Amino acid sequence: MKAVVHEHQTGMDGLHYRSMEQMEPKEGEVKVKLKTAGLNHRDLFLLERHKPTDPPIILGSDGAGIVEIAGQGVENVKIGDEVIINPSIGWQYNSEAPPEGFNVLGYPEHGTFAEFIIISADNVESKPEYLSWEEAGVLSLAALTAYRALFTRGHLRAGTTVLIPGIGSGVATFLLQFAKAAGATVYVTSRSKDKCENALELGADKAIDSNEDWNKQLNNEKMDLVIECVGAATFNKSLDQVRRGGTVVTFGASAGDRVEIDIRKFFYGQYNLLGTTMGSTEEYREMLKFIQKHHIKPVLDQIYPIEQFKEGFYRMEKGAQLGKIGFHINT
């Protein structure tokens, strides 16, 4: 089978679309013929983290496809089922933090940028019928991260005011969609006028220019909740935009991971800063129920043929997308 493999070199030059040996599912596993896959920032980071001396790795955390073979003992799906892949490995039940051994699909286990994947049957769920293959294929990692950030960690509910700095990424657009579906008031920021306009079309109550004074543009309104997925570039602005006793949930650091905070200001404000990542399988199933109830579809940016995978990586590197970038496979 053919796959996007990272090997021998760090960075984009280490990526090749080439033949890989096909494996067979063991007990409790399934073999899925992938129709679509989704690109995440994580795949970009891995180009640096995965070393030239490490064994070759098939990247990709998101995907959807059709069950080709079900191993012994598999009961939740059968051959021919249309499935969506849950990239959370080794974190079954909700808990404050993942257990030892938790991984995200796509490293160190082979991922979804391939014609086929062998995966535990626990990590496949029925594809929601109202989603297209493209929509199902780009959903999982970002939607699960957004779900945990907003609900498990941020305790968002109807009436909560929430700010999402840096609208544009897949996860940020899910944050916006999920928060609106739950009845929150949602403000977003972006450096891009186009992204601000798109966010308003998606239901944002206000979209402000990241480069201008946030307080001024928000009429000094302070938020119950800020979901900070940008990093150092916006971190202190985010903290400054929270009401006394309010919460910042943080899970992103693409714009720098070192931040200086004024702890005196922090404790006088009775603030809460909560770290989060992708979630558990239990949260993944809650998220699927939530999107089905509210009929939420991922915002698609661009879907490329898998052979043109580099186009997708370049587009994400530039931060040009609004919503999810994905790949067609086995068309």
Footprint of a copy of itself (CB under 8 A): 95-98, 231-232, 235, 243-246, 250-253, 257-277
Instruction: Work out how close the CB of 323 gets to a copy of itself at its nearest, in angstroms, rounded to a whole number.
Output: 23
Cβ closer to a copy of itself: 19 or 215?
A: 215
At 259, list the tokens: 């931040």
Cβ closer to a copy of itself: 268 or 314?
A: 268
Instruction: Work out how close the CB of 272 gets to a copy of itself at its nearest, in angstroms, rounded to a whole number.
Output: 5
Instruction: Work out how close the CB of 232 gets to a copy of itself at its nearest, in angstroms, rounded to a whole number.
Output: 7
Q: Using CB atoms within 10 Å of the CB of residue 272, give its burial: 0 to 12 exposed, 13 to 18 middle, 19+ buried.
A: middle
Cβ closer to a copy of itself: 26 or 265?
A: 265
Cβ closer to a copy of itself: 216 or 244?
A: 244
- State how beta strands 29-38 and 116-120 pair: antiparallel
CB atoms within 10 A of CB 148: 23
Cβ closer to a copy of itself: 47 or 119?
A: 47
- State how beta strands 57-58 and 29-38 pair: unpaired
Tell me if 43 sits within 8 A of 95, measured CB to CB: no
Cβ closer to a copy of itself: 27 or 260?
A: 260
Orientation of helix 140-147 relative to helix 170-181, angle to 10°: 50
Instruction: Work out how close the CB of 98 gets to a copy of itself at its nearest, in angstroms, rounded to a whole number.
Output: 8
Residue 190 to residue 204: CA distance in whole angstroms:
12
Instruction: Work out how close the CB of 147 gets to a copy of itself at its nearest, in angstroms, rounded to a whole number.
Output: 15
| Cα-based torsion angle of the residue sequence 92, 324, 147, 234 in order, rounded to the nearest 10 degrees | 120
The phi, psi pair for 45, rounded to 5°, reads -60, -40
Instruction: Work out how close the CB of 265 gets to a copy of itself at its nearest, in angstroms, rounded to a whole number.
Output: 8
Residue 161 to residue 186: CA distance in whole angstroms:
6
> Nearest-CA neighbor of 271 among 243, 229, 237, 231?
243
Cβ closer to a copy of itself: 185 or 234?
A: 234
> Nearest-CA neighbor of 227 among 187, 268, 266, 261?
187
Instruction: Work out how close the CB of 97 gets to a copy of itself at its nearest, in angstroms, rounded to a whole number.
Output: 3
SS3 87: coil
